[in-house]
Amino acid sequence: MATTITALRRQISSAGDLKSVVRVMKASAASAIGQYERSVAALADYARTVELGLGVCLRAIDPAGIRAWPPEARAEDRTVHAVVFGSDQGLVGRFNDEVVDYAIAQVGSSAVKVWAVGERVHERLLDAGIAPEGVFAVPGSVQHITQLVGQVLQTVPIADSAAARAPQSATLMLFYNRPSGNGYSTVSQRLLPLDGHWEHALAQQAWPTPQLPDVLSANTQTLRAFVREHLFVSLFRASAESLASENASRLAAMQRADRNIGERLQDLDATYHRLRQAGIDEELFDVISGFDALSPNADAGPQG
């Protein structure tokens, strides 16, 4: 009995320590989610500015705004460059598996060259029979996302930005998890070649002020600069949303763990108190039994 109670005490202590660790990880994940979501929100104004600049350049190139958009080349006729964003941290469930499975299903049989963001995504791609062209480290904070974006733009051999509007140019696809409700959903985004209908909408949108802008330098050079900024914004946002989704997945896992540990602690406490009460009852029974056994001798006096 004593050994069992001692073992229960150790289990209760260990479960309590684990619950404290889980709560710290919950707080850390919740804080990280807010950090990345705020960065995405802050990026929205800059993305809007880039789109306005793109619209101006497109109007300068095509003043009438009625350029006939050529049909897109078939996927199998051009090289697809895919960047798959994953996680290098644990306790995220099927986070990496889902994004890799989704990417494989989307690219299909086209000639695809894949770059992995994260060692675990890299390993998962190898398991699926795809040898990635390279692997990038997962940013550890918002401050490190810019470094990742720069590495991607310098490493992935995408077509020159001036030719980014040509349907026959190489395709650049992003695959990542995006926050959705209390969890995340896996999405894809095509960055290159630029979508013709999206360009047309940008060229037709109204300028927000009465003072209309004008392109002073060469149209193609300015367009190239804005396209590159568009790529930067899109890659930064994809990375930030992936990291927010990773922490949302970890937060959900920690919430489940916290609930399970709480239920386990209740069971252990109930078992401990039951055994403790049984031990007390047994000790009282022994005292009473001993008293009853001695009572006849105590009552018997000397016979005269």
Identify the pLDDT of residue 95.
92
pTM: predicted TM-score of the whole model, two decimal places: 0.78
Rounded to an integer, the average pLDDT of 68-93 is 71
- Residue 206 DSSP one-character state: P
Cβ(34)–Cβ(206) under 8 Å? no
Given a cut of 90, whether residue 5 has pLDDT beyond it is no
Cβ(32)–Cβ(247) under 8 Å? yes
The answer to which of 129-138, 273-282, 286-295 has the lowest mean pLDDT is 286-295
Q: Which residue, among 142, 152, 144, has the nearest Cα to 117 in the 3D structure?
A: 152
Identify the pLDDT of residue 75.
46
Identify the pLDDT of residue 68.
40
**H/E element, 260:** helix 219-299
Q: Which residue, among 32, 25, 190, 183, has the nearest Cα to 95 in the 3D structure?
A: 183
Cβ(205)–Cβ(113) under 8 Å? no
Cβ(194)–Cβ(164) under 8 Å? yes
Identify the pLDDT of residue 167.
47
Is position 11 within any domain?
Answer: no
Is position 8 within any domain?
Answer: no
Is position 188 within any domain?
Answer: yes
Q: Which residue, among 58, 56, 46, 66, has the nearest Cα to 206 in the 3D structure?
A: 56
- Give me the residues paired with residue 134 across strands: 115
Residue 190 or 93, more confident: 190
User: Which CATH number fits the domain that encloses residue 133?
Assistant: 3.40.1380.10
What percent of the chain has pLDDT above 70?
Answer: 84
Is position 13 within any domain?
Answer: no
The CA distance from 121 to 84, in Å, is 8
What percent of the chain has pLDDT above 90?
Answer: 29
Name, of 9-13, 67-71, 296-300, the range with top average pLDDT: 9-13
Given a cut of 90, whether residue 99 has pLDDT beyond it is yes
Given a cut of 70, whether residue 72 has pLDDT beyond it is no
Residue 296: pLDDT band with limits 50, 70, 90 = low
User: What separation in angstroms does the CA of 91 have from each of 97, 157, 262?
Assistant: 13, 34, 19
Q: Which residue, among 170, 175, 148, 153, has the nearest Cα to 86 in the 3D structure?
A: 175
Q: Which residue, among 186, 89, 184, has the nearest Cα to 140 in the 3D structure?
A: 89
Is position 299 within any domain?
Answer: no
Is position 179 within any domain?
Answer: yes
Q: Which domain holds residue 138?
A: 25-206+216-254
Identify the pLDDT of residue 116.
96
Rounded to an integer, the average pLDDT of 275-293 is 76
Q: Which residue, among 266, 189, 200, 284, has the nearest Cα to 19 in the 3D structure?
A: 266
Is position 280 within any domain?
Answer: no
Domain count, the chain: 1
Is position 291 within any domain?
Answer: no
Identify the pLDDT of residue 119.
94
The CA distance from 237 to 39, in Å, is 8
Identify the pLDDT of residue 84.
96
pLDDT tens profile 221-240 = 888 888 899 999 999 999 99
Residue 73: pLDDT band with limits 50, 70, 90 = very low
pLDDT tens profile 108-124 = 656 789 999 999 999 99
Cβ(159)–Cβ(192) under 8 Å? yes
Residue 283: pLDDT band with limits 50, 70, 90 = confident
Given a cut of 60, whether residue 80 has pLDDT beyond it is yes
Q: Which residue, among 204, 201, 192, 202, has the nearest Cα to 166 in the 3D structure?
A: 192
User: What separation in angstroms does the CA of 74 have from each of 59, 110, 160, 168, 201?
Assistant: 28, 9, 20, 8, 23
Residue 90 CB partners (closer than 8 Å, separation 6+): none
pLDDT tens profile 50-69 = 999 888 888 877 665 444 44
Identify the pLDDT of residue 258.
87
Q: At residue 90, what is the residue type?
A: G
Cβ(239)–Cβ(146) under 8 Å? no
Name, of 145-149, 259-263, 286-290, the range with top average pLDDT: 145-149
pLDDT, mean over the chain: 82
